[in-house]
Amino acid sequence: MIFINPKTDYAFKKIFGSSESTDILISFLNALIYEGNPTIEDLEIINPNLPPKVEGLKDTYLDVKAKLSDGTLVIIEMQVLNVQSFGKRVLYNAAKTYASQLRAGEGYRMLKPVIALTITDFEMFPNSANLISRFVYKEVKTNLTYPENDVDLVFVELPKFRKEEQQLETIADKWIYFMKYARSLTSVPETMDSIPEIHKAFEIANQAKLSREEVADLESREQSIYDQQGAIIKAAEEGREEGREEGREAGREEGQREKAIAIARQLLSRLDDETISQTTGLSLEDVRNLRGSNS
């Protein structure tokens, strides 16, 4: 068997956010957020319809969103590219989801908690050994939890997961193993197949059940991810050296900007303006002006 890559945007939503995925998503969230406890018993997937075919990765932020039975909103994102200010984007999306609940004239008591679950294919917190990290509002000195602690940020960093198939113990282990290795597997591991929701996830991910057009589109998306990763790494290496030369006589802040501009120049022929902006931290206007001056 060949399985589609759950780390690509369309495949991730097909597996976890489609109309047939409620039980899969409940198991997935209980495993990663609640340590495998059956805390979530029911949920509603918001906008479970898969989007139309999208070329490449441009403008394809296909978060999975769900509402739990107690009203809590959960937003789930799979992020492959380590773009500039990604942490700010996670916080912004969580805050926007929290604030957008209120309609005109409604009181703050109507606000329900928001959990932002982010799975990254890169190390978000290199100074921490934690595979799963959870951030909430707490008092700095006493560690007192804020009374209305309504926004939780949960991160799962796939590169920190190093267990082999025979070492899988918890359901969280098995879901993370699925996310990280499903694309390279040729059969469903026996230790995972006994869990109905994971079995079903593998069924949805079975490439044999997709049309030729779907397979071609997914392969194009996957290749686009690899191309962008390679372009960003190469541009960063070349841009850092160029930026060091240009910023050697400049101050620290200006030197950093020169590095960002140098990296952006290397990416102009490979990526769209929005992705370059996210990767380098430059504004869209800066990138467009840079593109204009290079044409």
What is the pTM for the complete model shown? Answer: 0.77
pLDDT at 155: 98
Mind listing the pLDDT tens digit of every residue in the chain (295 residues)? Answer: 889 889 888 889 889 999 899 999 999 999 999 999 999 999 999 987 765 554 443 434 458 999 999 999 999 999 988 877 889 989 999 999 999 998 878 899 999 999 999 999 999 999 999 999 999 999 999 999 999 999 999 999 999 999 999 999 999 999 999 999 999 999 999 999 999 999 999 999 998 777 777 777 777 766 666 666 666 666 666 655 555 555 445 445 556 777 778 777 777 776 778 777 877 778 888 888 888 876 5
Summarised one tens digit per residue, pLDDT across range 162-192 is 999 999 999 999 999 999 999 999 999 999 9
pLDDT at 55: 46
pLDDT at 59: 39
DSSP the chain: --B--TTSHHHHHHHHSSTT-HHHHHHHHHHHHSTT------EEEES-SPPPP--TTTT----EEEEETTS-EEEEEEE-S--TTHHHHHHHHHHHHHHTTPPTT--GGG---EEEEEEESS-S-TT---SEEEE--B-TTT-PBPTT--EEEEEEEGGG----GGG--SHHHHHHHHHHHGGG-SS--HHHHTSHHHHHHHHHHBGGGS-HHHHHHHHHHHHHHHHHHHHHHHHHHHHHHHHHHHHTTS-HHHHHHHHHHHHHHHHTTTS-HHHHHHHH---HHHHHHHHHHH-
